[in-house]
Structure 1
Amino acid sequence: MKKYVQICLAALVILLASCEGSYYVTEQPVEPVYVHPGAPGPGYVWIEGEWGWSGGRYVYRNGYWSRPRPGYSWHRGYWEHGGRGYRWHRGGWGR
């Protein structure tokens, strides 16, 4: 029983640590001008730059080339404006 409780607590800690919160800002950050390099080879797709929360603010992370997942396409991230301000929704692979 003690082992079961330890496993459940460890799983809970991992689950909570992997949660990503929603962070709001009063003004939408301006995306920097960034020229992406040429594709490293045929079949690659460009993943647009993303905004991430770090040090109490949003910081821009440059885009990169990636091989697409079979049967999936890349959905670009976007800003959403609501009553609390602007919030970034991350991009990801989807069908």
Structure 2
Amino acid sequence: MKRQLMLAAAVLAAGNLSGLVAPAQAQPVGGPPPYARRDGPPPPRYEHRPPARPGQVWVPGHWRADGPRYTWAGGYWAHGRPGYRYVPEQWVRGPHGWVLRPGRWTR
């Protein structure tokens, strides 16, 4: 038993000395996020907004990345949240390309 403990301690010490890292720490740092796109989306489409509904908020449509292309996701009515306003999806240009900032509720 004592020999097994000594062997395990030696293996751990050798790992620390040789610079081994856990797989979670071995990820590359920096570089573009996997969802960044080089080309920006087309201009937003005009959508006819249906008549207002009580207690509902219109969520406008937006372009969605679909492989190498963009596809249009149409707008829809969502349940409103008292005291909040809806900020729609928005494509923003970052240092590594275009990224879709998801829609969210904010005060």
Q: 1:23 aligns with which of 12, 17, 35?
A: 35
Gaps of 5+ in 1: 1-20
Scaled by the length of structure 1, what TM-score is found?
0.60
| CA RMSD, Structure 1 to Structure 2 (Å) | 2.4
User: Residues 94 and 22 of structure 1: is their aligned pair in 2 closer, same or farther, counting only changes over 3 Å?
Assistant: farther
Question: Could you say which residue in structure 2 is the equivalent of 1:64?
Answer: 76
Q: Which runs of 4+ in 1 moved over 6 A?
A: none
Contact 1:25-1:85 within 8 A present in 2 as well:
yes
Q: 2:51 aligns with which of 33, 39, 56?
A: 39
SS in 1 for 2:53: coil
- One-letter amino acid of the structure 1 residue matched with residue 57 of structure 2: V
Distance 1:61 1:84, change over 3 A: same
Identity of aligned residues (%): 36
Name structure 2 gaps, 5 residues minimum. Answer: 1-32
Q: Does 1:75 align with 2:96?
A: no
AA matched with 2:102:
R
Structure showing greater radius of gyration is: 2
Aligned length: 75
TM-score normalised to structure 2 length: 0.54
